[in-house]
Structure 1
Amino acid sequence: MAVLTAGRSGSMSLYRACLHVRNYTAGHDSGEGALAAERSLLRAGHIEIDTRFAWMLGRLAEANGDKVYFVFLTRDAAQIAASYNRRWTNRKGIMRGYCETILQRDKPAKDIAIARDLVGTVEANIRTFLSGRPHSVIRLEHWREDLPRFFIDIGAEVDLEAALGSFAEVHNPSRRGSPLVRGRYWVSRRIDALEALLKRKR
């Protein structure tokens, strides 16, 4: 089973909740560092919550055929974008990768428009991929109704009270980076600007 999400939607909370399911194992980004072909291979009886699956949809389909049940974990798009917009200083974060590598733009101090574009793009990919495929939807704003329904959909043997309690806890919130992290990002932007200036003068 694969959980698809744009991120910043409670994926860690869902993982903690799924640890209370007795007839499934659960993982969160457990394929981190693996190539997409390997990361996309799913085990039977396992719930894998991976914030990068949205970029590997073709691989998921090829590797697992029609044997996979999907879950779309989502949240109000403006809230996801606002959360991402606080994470520009994360060197391995998807915001910088999307901005610099996919859109081929210089990294800004902050740019909510890029964060919104990221969220809109990823969620459109997920919605299109899921069309015609069996799946559940868990909306962060309606998790008290959607989470129990999801457990019913997959036939989970779950301690529901404990699972709901785990989901209610906040995990991995976006925080303002430390002065060192913010300073390193500021320097990297200045280096990028200098490189761009030198390239124009060649």
Structure 2
Amino acid sequence: MRVFVLCTGRSGSLSFVNACKHIRNFTTSHESLADVFGNERFNFPNNHIEVDNRLSWSLGHLNKYFGDDAIYIHLKRDRDKTANSFFQRFYLPGSIIDAFCDGVRMNPVEKLSKKMRLKACYDYVDTVNTNIEYFLLDKSKKMTINLETIEQDFPKFLEFINADIDLEKGIEELRKSHNSSFQRKLNLDYRVKLTIIREWRHLKMYFSKKS
């Protein structure tokens, strides 16, 4: 049995992963195949719990490969808190809210006012949650867990998947803060390097078409 935890991100997913790592009869990973292309993106082992907010953009493939055979968990957090948490994630390397604005909504972050950036965060949260909700409509093995009531919901989740766990250790993980929006790193060298590589490759493609 495979368990997929779907969410927007910024919803306690890392705390949830760390709690699930105390489950003895399931393996657990966080975004373990998020950087993989093709069919291998969905090569998850059996008896495994995968927590990955980016799977919300691959729901068609999830349905194709696993359909109603898997268990699906919708991990949610208060809409305002989620949007405001994403608001703190702009301009970070690999930021999904940047990618959403730049690529999906075709509004480069640098052109957006503070008000528009916050509006984009709400749009992202609503888009992802709606995608997940519609995906789950015809699924028979599903459950919603809310971050605000996670200490009550987590034991129900464990019973739902028939997990073997030290519950006290799992709950202890849920009480810890992980991956705070305010724990920013400059990563200046990395960011400059990526910018140079991107612009160099853009120039190469531009001039190759000219020749």
**TM-score where L is the length of structure 1:** 0.85
How many angstroms does 1:136 deviate by? Answer: 1.4
1:63-142 correspondence to structure 2 within 5 Å: 63-107=65-109, 108=112, 110=114, 111-133=117-139, 134-142=141-149
Counterpart of 2:23? 21
1:1-202 correspondence to structure 2 within 5 Å: 1-35=3-37, 37-107=39-109, 108=112, 110=114, 111-133=117-139, 134-175=141-182, 177=184
Tell me, what secondary structure is at the counterpart of 1:131?
helix
| Preserved CA contact (<8 Å) 2:7 2:75 | yes
**Count of residues paired in the alignment:** 184
How many angstroms does 1:32 deviate by? Answer: 2.8
Tell me, what secondary structure is at the counterpart of 2:138?
coil
Q: 1:56 to 1:179 in 2, by over 3 A?
A: closer
| Preserved CA contact (<8 Å) 2:72 2:142 | yes
- Give the counterpart letter for 1:170 in structure 2: S
Render the CA deviation track for 1:111-134: whole Å, top value 9, x for unaligned. Answer: 100000000000000001011212
Q: Structure 1: which 5+ residue stretches go unaligned?
A: 189-202
How many angstroms does 1:178 deviate by? Answer: 5.3
Alpha-carbon distance in 1 for matches of 2:23, 2:30? 15
Identity percentage over the alignment? 33
- The Cα RMSD (Å) is 1.9
Counterpart of 1:196? none
Alpha-carbon distance in 1 for matches of 2:64, 2:49? 18
How many angstroms does 1:66 deviate by? Answer: 2.4
Render the CA deviation track for 1:27-66: whole Å, top value 9, x for unaligned. Answer: 0111131015322233220001112110000011111232
Counterpart of 1:197? none
Q: 1:23 to 1:70 in 2, by over 3 A?
A: same
How many angstroms does 1:180 deviate by? Answer: 7.4
